[in-house]
Amino acid sequence: MKIAGKFPNTRLRRVRNSEWIRRLVSENDLSINDLILPIFVRDGKNKIEPIKSMPGVNRYSVDRLSVIMNKAKKSRIPMVALFPYTPKNKKDKLGKEALNENNLICQSLRFIKKRYSGIGVMCDVALDPYTSHGHDGVIINKKIDNDKTIKILVKQALLQAEMGCDVIAPSDMMDGRVGIIRKALDKNNFQNICIMSYAAKYASSFYGPFRDAVGSKINLKSDKKTYQMDYRNSNEAFREVSLDIKEGADMIMIKPGMTYLDIIRNIKNTFKIPVFAYQVSGEYSMIKFGVKNKLISEEAILESLIAFKRAGASAIVTYFALDIAKKISKT
């Protein structure tokens, strides 16, 4: 890049001197349209349960989803993402509860779709909330079996579509699952349902609080490095994304977000496709605890989200969605 100008004729501080001029020349901004709100669902009746490792985030029983959905509607959040806290007695080695039409996600979809029009619903396609071992797939001979897992994931995706899901989001990182899910959706007259592929999901240390939230952490006895991406790699992300686009992905998710801004930027520049970032639970909790203990300013929340937009993210899955939406609406 050729730099135009020379001091003292050029003084870049001139366009930073006042709030109004900083607003005029700002290159990136955040709107409510950039926000996706994750929601955790649990069993029982009349339950709102705080998640200790994620301050300010709760699990809701299906009958209390209106508490958070009303806030999402009032804030004009465009989409929510559902995640279940499956009871221990409904977990098994194959994650069969994922295919139960009365599981927590299916109940939640029926509840939301009956009461809230105009808000999109995204559903996670993966088995880790349902398996007794906490992995995203079926274990055969001590290894995750890619193809056997896909057979279950396809059925899970079709069930979610039948219940009213708007965006199917495979987060499992099995090879080839996007294309098979797309074919199954199209064959069953769900051509208009979007697929948001977690194409570049890294084997990260930042998922701990989320695994608490869905109840998989206590069961997980080994890492997920045989199917999630190595955090040392970037070129591999291009291969993953390219394959998923060819298989029919409408949108791409990069997860985690804050430590992979380079991936977001490079994928967006290369493929010109909607790219979404997930500000994951560990990122959220670090900022939340930092603000609570006055180690950092609350403005760090907005700064972190603007970083995603600056990197090229089309939208952000963030547990700060309601707080930021409220702040944006006041400006």
Q: What are phi and psi of 289, to 5 degrees?
A: -70, -35
List residues with catalytic annotation: 201, 255
Cα–Cα distance for residue pair 315/214, rounded to 1 Å? 23
Residue-wise pLDDT for 104-152, tens only, equals 999 999 999 999 999 999 999 999 999 999 999 999 999 999 999 999 9
Residue 239 makes CB contacts below 8 A (sequence gap 6+) with: none
Give the pLDDT confidence of 92-105 residue by residue, as tens digits: 999 999 999 999 99
> What's the confidence (pLDDT) of residue 87?
93
Q: Is the peptide bond before 8 cis (omega within 30 degrees of 0)?
A: yes
Tell me how far apart the alpha carbons of residues 130 and 88 are, in angstroms, rounded to a whole number: 9
DSSP run (H or E) holding 89: none
As a whole number of angstroms, the distance between CA 11 and CA 143 comes to 60
Cite the beta strand spans of the chain per DSSP E. 35-42, 48-50, 58-61, 79-84, 120-125, 138-140, 143-145, 167-170, 194-201, 251-255, 275-278, 315-317
Taking residues 217-243, what's their average pLDDT?
92
DSSP SS3 for 124:
strand
- The crossing angle, in degrees rounded to 10, of helices 104-115 and 146-162 is 30
Q: Position 297: which residue type?
A: S
pLDDT at 199: 97
pLDDT of residue 1: 67
Domain-wise residue ranges, the chain: 29-330
Half-sphere exposure of 60 (CA within 13 A, CB side): 20
Q: What is the pLDDT of residue 107?
A: 98
Is the predicted pLDDT of residue 331 greater than 90, yes or no?
A: no
* pLDDT on residue 41: 98
Q: What's the mean pLDDT when you consider all of the chain?
A: 95
pLDDT of residue 324: 96
CB 256 within 8 A of CB 283: yes
Q: Are 75 and 325 in contact (CB under 8 A)?
A: yes
Residue with tokens 């208009």: 192
SS3 state at 276:
strand
CATH architecture label of 29-330:
Alpha-Beta Barrel (3.20)
